[in-house]
Structure 1
Amino acid sequence: MEVTEALNASSSTNNTPVDRQLADIYAIHNPGQAAVDKYVTPIIYILGFPGNILAFLVWIGKRMRHSSGCYLAALALSDLMFMALHVLFELVNVWNMAILDVPIICEMYAVFFLWSQYYSPLLVLGFTVERYISICHPFRREKLCTTRRAVIVIILLCLLSLGLCAIQGYFLMYDYNQQICTMRKSVTDGGVESVWSIWTWVTEMLIFLLVPVVVLGVNIRVIKEARRIGREESMRSLKGTPRKNSATTLMLLAVSFYLIVTTLPVSIMYALNYSFLEGRLSMTDEEIENDVTWQQHFAYLQARAVIQEIGLTHYACNFYIYCITGKIFRGELCKMIAFVRCKAWSKGGMLGEHTRYYSTAETTVALNTCTTANGRSTQSTPETSV
């Protein structure tokens, strides 16, 4: 949501007198907005990059390649790509680096950046609908909720997202005269009634308002059905018997609701954009400080910056949701980490070289961990165990 709104601004930032004047006003009277981007966003990167990488590696593991795992692996990869492209976005819009003022890159960057942004909510919608089928229509689960069908849906959602964003490659253009990446004048003529504005509003509301609302409705239906099934099992004295899909359902519901909580507020702030426009540029600094229109505009921008940072966490924190709510995910993650550690220890004889620095008990635990991670059992020789 933040991206499409800023693309229009970033395409001409500091290139016209009006833009330069606005930038100066913001720097003097609203420094908090830039501070949020400069100091909060890097923290989200620190959480998001390793989290998405680890999540992707776990979900592509042999034991995790079920239909839901396919969706979540695609989600991790999409979020990882979004965050990588978001770094460039921040360098341009916050740190004023003209790294996108290059032919072809200018046009293609917007397409793939927005594609990765749109793709994540669509993937959440995909596995939410699958979970609905699994819980509410269990007799159709074996036919519809297969890995093959999940891969097909993932590809179709990818193409749909790319189709919605492809036109951005036309909206943006490289101006060879000024040597900048800018919006085509023909698509921005008319202000809020321009082609760019209308297309942006339609696609943004579709992806970031309609999709979360649909996800919310489907989740409510799933929760009601799960509670009904739970009551029936309790009446049959099966309360202590866990359902096979209950843990997966909890994890996917957590991811879905996190999407809703982080996305809908951003959509609301985006819809309010034209309700808090800037005041007259001709005012002095003292007049701006006392002007109600300007102060409301600054307050809106500050609140929007905070809410957008919260929305950005949706692309960074799914891994931690998996760790909190997914017992099987935690187990596979621990196995993967143990396997990597054992590989590092055994490489070049490192394990044998360093066992003399550890006690007998510590060495035995390390060796047992290695054999478990490699999926086989070996007996340690007396010399190795010492």
Structure 2
Amino acid sequence: MSLQCVLPPANLLTAAILCRGKCGLTRGITPYMVAMAMTELIVVIFHVLLKEIYIYYNPNSFLSLSTVCPSYIHMRTATMDYSVWLTVSFTFDHFVSICCPKLRRMYCTDRTAAAVIVAMCALSCLKYIPFQFLYEPRFHVDNVNWGCRPKVDYFTSIWWAAFAWMCSVSLSLLPFGLIVLLNGLTVRYIIAASRVRRRLKSLEAKDSEAENRSKSIVLLFTVSVTSILLWTTATVTLICNRVSVNHVSADLTNPSNIANEVGILLVLASCCANTFIYAMTQRKFRQEVKNGIKTLTLFIIKPIKLARQ
């Protein structure tokens, strides 16, 4: 958790560098990457700084009020869902860019990216509105309602069961499957295209288009594969719990609960991984980070030198 608490400045730095547009990325990809960086920052704030730290050390804070608790759970779930579907949108944009030349010019633009980002945000908020009506106060102290717990109907009503499955499908199962599918189709297209290009061009000739495509592919697969690996534990645990109708309890010695906690930890880690991915795979991004550090160092050192003179 300590690493995730240090990473919010890294997410801000990533968003600032990407917004400058000097990393050699297309105008259609950059909005997705900026939105992903900022959404991951919000996820860290809601799930780590507030839930795991602030509420843990301040159990009687305003977030524990029964009137605030459902809204907080709603926003916490919506931000996680938004983060996941931005990764799916990013993967789909790359799929269209590589595999659909006729659709590329119309879809892979900054305007389309902005529209998709806003639409995903609205859908993520709307999908989880039922959370506002799911909970009831946990206990009363001095005529004040504290905490929130699911109503009895949640465990007996078929409608709440359908909503629970919708949450599971939207948060994990569907995006996980779409990312795997889109990456599989992209790999298939790349292999087929590479065979054709080898027949048309000599192996010794320098293929600039292939080089540019390879850089884009490395970024796509690194982000997608990292997301898949870090979400696998949570997805498998979720399926097992839903199929066996096993609700997570407070007993941390239970193997299913241990797997659930590990899955949550890996999911939260996935929100911090993209910054490192950009640094490892994008040379221009690393250069922009170095330039930013140099500028900040000079900004701090210059007043000190002037003061000494």
Deviations 1:308-356 (A, max 9, x none): 212221111110011111222222222222222233333x3x45567x9
The answer for the alignment partner of 2:148 in structure 1 is 182
Looking at structure 2, the residues matched to 195 and 177 of structure 1 have their Cα atoms a distance apart, in angstroms, of 28
Q: CA deviation at 1:227?
A: 2.7
Question: Within the alignment, does 1:113 sit opposite 2:76 as a pair?
Answer: yes
| Paired residue total | 294
The answer for the alignment partner of 2:186 in structure 1 is 222
Question: Within the alignment, does 1:82 sit opposite 2:43 as a pair?
Answer: yes
Q: 1:276 to 1:60 in 2, by over 3 A?
A: same
Question: Within the alignment, does 1:231 sit opposite 2:195 as a pair?
Answer: yes
Looking at structure 2, the residues matched to 228 and 330 of structure 1 have their Cα atoms a distance apart, in angstroms, of 32
The answer for the alignment partner of 1:336 in structure 2 is 292
Name the TM-score, length of structure 2 as normaliser: 0.84
Q: 1:136 to 1:88 in 2, by over 3 A?
A: same
Name the TM-score, length of structure 1 as normaliser: 0.68
Question: Within the alignment, does 1:58 sit opposite 2:58 as a pair?
Answer: no
Deviations 1:36-73 (A, max 9, x none): xxxxx233333x32332222111211435721110011
The answer for the alignment partner of 1:320 in structure 2 is 276
Q: CA deviation at 1:76?
A: 0.8
Larger of the two Rg values belongs to structure? 1
**Residue segments in structure 1 that go unaligned for 5+ positions in a row:** 1-40, 279-293, 357-386
Looking at structure 2, the residues matched to 200 and 115 of structure 1 have their Cα atoms a distance apart, in angstroms, of 14
Looking at structure 2, the residues matched to 91 and 276 of structure 1 have their Cα atoms a distance apart, in angstroms, of 30
Looking at structure 1, the residues matched to 52 and 158 of structure 2 have their Cα atoms a distance apart, in angstroms, of 26
Looking at structure 1, the residues matched to 115 and 279 of structure 2 have their Cα atoms a distance apart, in angstroms, of 27
Percent identity reads 20
Q: CA deviation at 1:95?
A: 5.3
Looking at structure 1, the residues matched to 246 and 56 of structure 2 have their Cα atoms a distance apart, in angstroms, of 20
Task: Verify the 8 A CA contact 1:173 1:182 in the aligned structure 2.
Answer: yes
Q: 2:147 is paired with a residue of what secondary structure? A: strand
Deviations 1:123-181 (A, max 9, x none): 11111111111111123322210111100110011111111122212223556845212
**Residue segments in structure 2 that go unaligned for 5+ positions in a row:** none
Q: 1:66 is paired with a residue of what secondary structure? A: coil
Looking at structure 2, the residues matched to 96 and 185 of structure 1 have their Cα atoms a distance apart, in angstroms, of 25
Task: Verify the 8 A CA contact 2:69 2:147 in the aligned structure 1.
Answer: yes
Deviations 1:96-116 (A, max 9, x none): 723322254223211211111
The answer for the alignment partner of 2:100 in structure 1 is 137
Q: 1:339 is paired with a residue of what secondary structure? A: helix
Q: Of the candidates 184, 189, 201, which is equivalent to residue 165 of structure 2? A: 201
Q: CA deviation at 1:213?
A: 0.8
Q: CA deviation at 1:253?
A: 1.7
Superposition RMSD in Å: 2.9
Question: Within the alignment, does 1:72 sit opposite 2:33 as a pair?
Answer: yes
Question: Within the alignment, does 1:258 sit opposite 2:258 as a pair?
Answer: no
Deviations 1:287-323 (A, max 9, x none): xxxxxxx99x622322332232122211111100111
Map residues 293-372 of structure 1 onto 2, 5 A cutoff.
298-346=254-302, 348=303, 350-351=304-305
Q: 1:240 is paired with a residue of what secondary structure? A: coil
Task: Verify the 8 A CA contact 1:115 1:161 in the aligned structure 2.
Answer: yes
Task: Verify the 8 A CA contact 2:135 2:151 in the aligned structure 1.
Answer: no
The answer for the alignment partner of 1:45 in structure 2 is 5
Task: Verify the 8 A CA contact 1:205 1:267 in the aligned structure 2.
Answer: no
Task: Verify the 8 A CA contact 2:78 2:128 in the aligned structure 1.
Answer: yes
Task: Verify the 8 A CA contact 2:222 2:277 in the aligned structure 1.
Answer: yes
